[in-house]
Every structure is written in C-alpha cells, then in structure tokens.
Amino acid sequence: MSTHGYYRLAAAVPRVRVADVEYNTTKLIAAAKTAAGQGAALVLFPELCITSAGCADLFFQPTLLKAAGSALNRFAAETADLPVVAVVGLPLLIDDKLFNVAAVVQGGMVQGFVPKSIIPNKRECYERRQFSPAAMLTCDEVCISPECNRIPIGTDLVFEVNDELKFGVEIGDDATALLPPSSRLAMQGARVILNPAAAVAIAGRAEYTRTQVLARSGSCVAAYVHAGAGVGESTQDGVCGGSAMIAVNGRPAGQNVPFSRELSVVYADVDMQRLAAARLSESNFCDNLLQAEWPTPRRISCGIDVPACNLAYANLPPRPFVPAPAELTTRCEEILNIQAAALAKRMECAYAKTLVIGVSGGLDSTLALLVCDRACKLLGRSNDCILALTMPGFGTTGRTYHNAVRMIELLGCTFKEVNIKEACLLHFKDLDFDPALRTNTYENVQARERTKLLMNLANKTGGMVVGTGDLSEIALGWATYNGDHMSMYGVNCSIPKSLIRCLIEYAATQAEPELAAVLRDVNATPVSPELLPPSDDGRIDQKTEEILGPYDLHDFFLYHFIKYGAEPDKLRALALHAFAGEYDEALIESTLRTFLRRFFTQQFKRTCVPDGPKVGTIALSPRGDWRMPTDVCGVLWNK
C-alpha cells in the first residue's frame, strides 16, 4: 500500500533508572513496541538511554559497559520482528577510549553506530571526564561480541530505509557546532536528522532547544527529531526535562509536555517527497559549495516493510494559504502592506494620476479597492484619485451592486456608474449574435466591454487600471481572455481565493462599523462572475463553485501541486484526509479533475498576464515563478 511519501516518525522518552540496565532495556523494548503499534517507521530514544546519562564515573566500570553491550543485543533480539527502525544510546569502549554512541537497530541487528562529536564541558555536565569525541576514533567498524559481524561506526553514516526515507544522527551538543553533522548529513541525502540528547533542564533552555530544532530542520530542509532524557535521570545536581519534539522544514510538527513521569511519545507523519521537492525547487540547498569538501558518506541499508501511513499525525491544514490564528493579524497586515507598497511604487514609476478599478461587490475587487486605499495613503494622495466604476450588466444583483456603491462612498473614492447592457446589445447586433443564447460569447462580451471602459478611462485621466484577478482564477484560467484577464497591474495575482476572504475579514476588524458590515456581507456573498441573469427573486444564479468545485479544494490542490509536486493520486489522498467530514470523495474527485484539466489547458492566459506583486511562496508569473509552455500536453496528469 502506497504511503504517498508519508512516514511516521516518533520521539520517545521512557522512564529510566540510573545504571539499572535491565530495567531500562525493558522499558525501551516496550516503548519500541508502542511506537511500532502506532505505525512508526522510525523511533528515536534519548542519549545514553540504555544505562541512563547520569552514571558519571560509573561509565568507567567494566560491569556497566558489559551490561550495556548485552542489553543492546537483547533490545535488538526482542524488537527483531517490529517493522520499525529504533535508535538507542549507550557507552561503547573502543581501543581503550569510551565513546557516547547512538546505535541504529533494525531487524534484530545493529546496523551502525554514530559517536558523539562535541563533548561538552559545561558547569552542569562534565562529559569530557568520561567520553572521547568522535574525532578520536581510529576505526570505521567495530565488533561488540565474538559472534557479531563488524558494525560500521562513524559520523559519516547515512541510513537508508528506502529511496525516500533516509536519516542521519547527531547527538546532543553536536547540533550546536559551528558546522554541525546535520548539515553534512542533509547534503548527503538524509531527509531526517535524529538528535538524541540528555541536557539538564535550566530556565530558558526548553525554548532555546525548540528554537534550535526548528532552525536546524529549516536550514537542512529536513525533518528533525529530538528526544531528551527524562525525569528518571539522576537529580543529584540537576534534572532532565524529557523534551521530545519533531520539526519539519522550519515548522513544528509535534511536541510533548515535559517532565512526564511515564513514557512520553511524540509522533509526526512527515512527507519525504515534499522535503525532496522543497530541496529541489525552493531553496539554495543544492548550491552548498561545502559539499565538495566532504567525504563520500557510507550508506547503510535498513530496508523494512514500512507500514501504510494514515496521516493521523500529519500537519495537513485544509486551507494552507490561510495564516494560523496565532499569526493571523501579523500576516494579514504584512500581505496588505506588500500589495499596497507594490502598487504605490507602480503609480510613481508610471506617473499615474489616477487608479481606475472596476468594483463589482465581489471578493476580488473589494480587496483590490482596499489595496488602492492603502497605496494612496502611502503616497499622501486623496482617495478621489481612485476612479471606482461599477458597471451593471445582465447578471448584476442588487446585493453586489449596493455593496459596491456603498464601499466606494465610504472609502471616499470617485464614483462612476456605467450600465453596459446597451453597449453589449449593440455588440451582439454587430456580431449577429442572439442574446437569448447563454454561451461564452454572451458572457465574454460583457467582460470585455468592462475592460474596454476601464482602459479607455485610464487613458483619458492619465491613470492605470488596477487588476482584480486572484491566484485561484489565474491557476484555473477562470477569466475572459483580454477581458478581466487584463489590466495594467494585478495586485491580487498571488492571493488565492481562500486567503482573500481572510484578508477582507481582517480589514473589517480594522474598519469603521458601517464599512465593516459591508465587507462582511461581501465575504458572505456567493462567488460569481454575474454574467448570466439572476434568479426570478433577484438572487445570484450563476455560482462559480457550483461549476468548478469549491475554491478551498482548488487552492489546496494548487498549493501541494506547485509547491511540492504532488502527483494526482497523492493530491486525492491528501484532500480526502484534510477535508474529511467536509467534502465527500465524489466532489473531491471531480474538483481534482477540473483543477488538473484547466491548469494545463489555460496556460495561454498565464503566459501574458500583467505584472503584479508576489506575496507568498506560490505565484504563477510566467516571468519567474512558473514557466510552462503554452502548448504543453497535460495527459500524464489527466489520466
């Protein structure tokens, strides 16, 4: 069964006892079974967890070291049938030197050892008294028992579960090095970095560790799994908090509550294909010149039958463009400032005396009008230089008309109304077209008539036409070619429909009550081009989302398709999970087919879109962000 690139990672913190190797090993085995039972492909335990990290000079005792070696063999034997790779920590004596190592265990065998590189000498931790750094290794293989094969050891090991799931290990303070092992391991193909640790808890350290985990995952474009020793460790001069957390490419994916007195396990379902796509297309990951200075890594196969992932622990928001509540205000303000600053700059360089905009009372033109208002404030201009036109046609309803007029008045813009029905009827006559036929011609004549008015008014007033089309419409080609498709600057070109509602609601929270009420009614109005006549009771009859499918789904598909190259089967699986209980499978399937078909067939409209500001990581400008031939064949994606 396909995992669609998703694998469950786990960070486990068991309750241990100082130097009680048998007890600790029993707890580790139980925890490994728990993680495997939850579908984890990889489980990380804390540093030196077999013995506990606080044994101090007991690490010099042969009795403890022999017990640790036997315990490792026991752990391997009793987890042999589990479909999981486990990483446990122990002291290892090699050539009369003691090393703090992480052992990678899978299928009843120790696949490799990774020694700690940075041995701290902090006030609360004197590891240098007992352990040697990895640089003092004099071998690259070890044998831990007479009947055992030689096992690879070193900081250059990349472990491969399969072509997608590859990982490396850096222990404790290795993550704080000037050139941490994780950087090299990531450049050598590891998409997961494991960090077993055993730091003493001091005030502020938990937040520092969290920041470090997020930063390392972001700089490595990887999943970063951290497991710290827990409260069972020695409390002679300090206490360990037992922190466990997982981050993916700079974002948190899971974190426990520290100081738990029982087993604590954190899970995250992580998309390895997404990480590969991010490394390939959206970062300078492949440009790291230091790669040439690093030795070729040793690759260790840990092939297992990975369980299918049900995405229960996946960070998969259904509306990926919409900011999280905690950052909503900051992000919305930032986006509106980007749009306004871009428009203000274009006004200056074009010597534009006016901004000409068609206001329909719909989402897109409302946001664009708000951006015009902000741009004028930036330049110290009065809003009467905003020439706001409402152009009623055959499908205009009273609700959208009144909202458009009231917004224009409340913002202090110059209002102009031009009813386009008569001009369109004359054009139908010129075309010898029967207006009783509700075809594309009937609709597009109206859209082009409006664009003609806007363009010519801009010429007359020395101004520029502000485009209102959004990213969702650009992706689907849901615009009339050389109609609403065209403007002199498109301020919404990288704002998807799902985000526009969010921005308008934010603007409403900042507005006077009367304007706020209008903005919220705009948000509550069904999306429609209003090109077909309304219903008998005057309500919108032509609803875009009944034709195309929900914009929330289209935006979800666009995000995962463009940003991470998700294939159609994966887009379907992700949407089924993200929108479970909201949209049924049939609607998701039909909307996906519509998205893929239109995305490829409508490239000709994107090839000649106007300039506009990039706001997020996804945009479809043919000049930089998305370059695709107009005559592309999309059959591979539309099977």
How long is the chain? 639
Instruction: Considering only the C-alpha atoms of the chain, give the largest distance between any 2 of them, rounded to a whole number of Å.
Output: 100
Is the C-alpha dihedral spanning 562, 563, 567, 571 positive or negative? negative
**Distances in Å between the alpha carbon of 617 and those of 227, 321, 564?**
31, 10, 11
Residue 435 has pLDDT above 70, yes or no: yes
Closest C-alpha among 263, 266, 260, 214 to residue 241 = 260
Q: What angle do CA 599, 603, 605 make, to 5 degrees?
A: 120
**Residue keyed to tokens 């479909």:** 83
Is the C-alpha dihedral spanning 445, 446, 449, 455 positive or negative? negative
pLDDT bracket for residue 161 (50, 70, 90): very high
pLDDT at 283 (0 to 100): 61
pLDDT at 293 (0 to 100): 65
* Domains of the chain with bracketed CATH: 7-295 (3.60.110.10), 325-637 (3.40.50.620)
**Residue keyed to tokens 């996946």:** 314
Residue 282 has pLDDT above 80, yes or no: no
pLDDT at 289 (0 to 100): 46
pLDDT at 2 (0 to 100): 64
Q: Is 632 left (phi over 0), alpha (psi -120 to 50) or beta?
A: beta
pLDDT at 123 (0 to 100): 52
Is the C-alpha dihedral spanning 317, 322, 324, 325 positive or negative? negative
Residue 370 has pLDDT above 60, yes or no: yes
Between these two residues, 445 and 304, which has the higher pLDDT value?
445
pLDDT at 545 (0 to 100): 94
Class of residue 207 by CB neighbours under 10 A (exposed 0-12, middle 13-18, buried 19+): exposed
The answer to whether 495 and 473 are in contact (CB under 8 A) is no
Residues 6+ apart with CB under 8 A from 557: 571, 575, 591, 592, 595, 596
Where b means 16+ CB within 10 Å and e means fewer, 112-123 reads: bbbbbbbbbeee
List pLDDT tens digits, range 379-416: 999 999 999 999 999 999 999 999 999 999 999 999 99
pLDDT bracket for residue 149 (50, 70, 90): confident
Class of residue 355 by CB neighbours under 10 A (exposed 0-12, middle 13-18, buried 19+): buried
Which pair of structure tokens corresponds to residue 579?
């929108």
Which pair of structure tokens corresponds to residue 239?
């206490």
How many CA atoms lie less than 13 Å away from 17 in the CB half-sphere? 8
Class of residue 430 by CB neighbours under 10 A (exposed 0-12, middle 13-18, buried 19+): exposed
Ranking 31-35, 208-212, 334-338, 346-350 by mean pLDDT, the lowest is 208-212
Calculate the average pLDDT of the chain: 93
List pLDDT tens digits, range 178-234: 889 999 999 999 999 999 999 888 888 889 999 999 999 999 999 999 999 998 898
pLDDT at 291 (0 to 100): 54
Closest C-alpha among 444, 105, 146 to residue 304 = 105
pLDDT bracket for residue 103 (50, 70, 90): very high
List pLDDT tens digits, range 447-482: 999 999 999 999 999 999 999 999 999 999 999 999
pLDDT at 537 (0 to 100): 86
Residue 76 has pLDDT above 80, yes or no: yes
Mean pLDDT, range 519-527, rounded to an integer = 96
Residue 147 has pLDDT above 60, yes or no: yes
pLDDT at 153 (0 to 100): 96
Across the beta sheet with 85-94, the strand order is: 109-115, 97-106, 85-94, 40-44, 6-13, 264-271
pLDDT at 197 (0 to 100): 95
Mean pLDDT, range 134-150, rounded to an integer = 85
The Cα–Cα gap between 105 and 482 comes to 62
Mean pLDDT, range 501-511, rounded to an integer = 97
What share of the chain has pLDDT > 70, as a percent?
97
List pLDDT tens digits, range 288-344: 645 556 678 899 998 888 888 888 999 899 999 999 999 999 999 999 999 999 999
